[in-house]
Amino acid sequence: MHLEIPCCILRGGTSKGVYLMEGSLPPAGAARDAALLRLMGSPDLRQIDGLGGATSVTSKVAIISPCEDACADVNYTFAQVSIDKPVVSYAGNCGNISSGVGPFAIESGLVSACDGVTPVRIYNTNTQKVIIAHVQTPGKKVCYDGNASIAGVPGTAAPVRLSFERPAGSVTGMLLPTGNTTDTLDVPGVGTLRVSIVDAANPLVFVMAHDLGLTGKELPAEINGNSALLLLLERVRAAAALRLGFINTLEESATRSPGVPKLTLIAPAEDYTTLTGETVSAASVDILGRMMSMQKAHETYALTGVICTICAACIPGTLVHALAANRQRSDHLVIGHPGGTLEAGIDCSLRPDGTLDIKDAYSYRTARLLMRGMAYI
pLDDT in tens, 297-308: 999 999 999 999
Q: Give the span between the Cα atoms of 121 and 111, in whole angstroms.
A: 9
Which amino acid would we find at residue 255?
A: T
* Angle CA 299–303–305, to nearest 5: 85
> How far is residue 312's CA from residue 136's CA, in Å, rounded to a whole number?
30
Distance in angstroms (rounded) separating the CA atoms of residues 337 and 218: 9
The mean pLDDT of 354-377, rounded to a whole number, is 97
Show the domains of the chain with their CATH numbers: 4-167+366-376 (3.10.310.10), 183-354 (3.10.310.10)
Collapsing DSSP to helix, strand or coil, 280 comes out as: strand
Residue count of the chain, please give it: 377
Tally of helices (H runs) and strands (E runs) in the chain: 8, 19
Answer yes or no: is pLDDT of 179 > 90: yes
Which residues have CB under 8 Å from 188's CB, separation 6+?
235, 250
Tell me, what amino acid is at 121?
R
Residue 141 CB neighbour total at 10 angstroms = 12
Q: Are 247 and 238 in contact (CB under 8 A)?
A: yes
Whether pLDDT at 1 is above 80: no
Neighbouring-strand partners of residue 81: 88
Sorted by sequence, the CB contacts under 8 Å of residue 371 that are 6+ apart come out as 8, 9
Residue 354 — very low, low, confident or very high, per pLDDT cuts 50/70/90?
confident
Contacts of 184 (CB under 8 A, 6+ apart): 192, 193, 194, 195
pTM of the model: 0.95
The closest of 299, 319, 321, 300 to 310, measured between CA atoms, is 321
Measure the CA–CA gap between 210 and 290, rounded to whole angstroms: 12
For residue 34, the one-letter residue type is A
Assess whether pLDDT exceeds 90 at residue 67: yes
* pLDDT tens column, 86-137: 999 999 999 999 999 999 999 999 999 999 999 999 999 999 999 999 999 9
**Helix (H/G/I), strand (E/B), else coil: 138:** helix
Q: Which residues contact 328 (CB under 8 A, 6 or more apart)?
A: none
Q: Return the pLDDT at 2.
A: 86
Q: Please name every residue paired with 347 in a beta bridge, in sequence order, or none if there are none.
A: 360
Q: Is 10 in a helix, a strand, or coil? A: strand
Nearest-angstrom CA–CA distance, 101 and 88: 20
Q: What is the pLDDT of residue 170?
A: 97
Is 231 in a helix, a strand, or coil?
A: helix
- Going by pLDDT thresholds of 50, 70 and 90, the confidence category of residue 319 is very high
Distance CA 165, CA 46 (A): 37
Q: How far apart are CA 94 and CA 57, in angstroms?
A: 9
Contact call for residues 142 and 151 (beta carbons, < 8 A): no
Average pLDDT, the chain: 97
Residues of the chain above pLDDT 70, percent: 100
Tell me the C-alpha distance between 363 and 142, whole Å: 20
What is residue 56's predicted lDDT score, i.e. its pLDDT? 94
Q: Which phi and psi (to 5°) does residue 40 adopt?
A: -90, -10
Asked if 140 and 113 count as a contact pair (C-beta separation under 8 A), the reply is yes
Q: How far is CA 86 from CA 36, 63, 94, 304, 350, in A?
A: 10, 19, 20, 25, 44
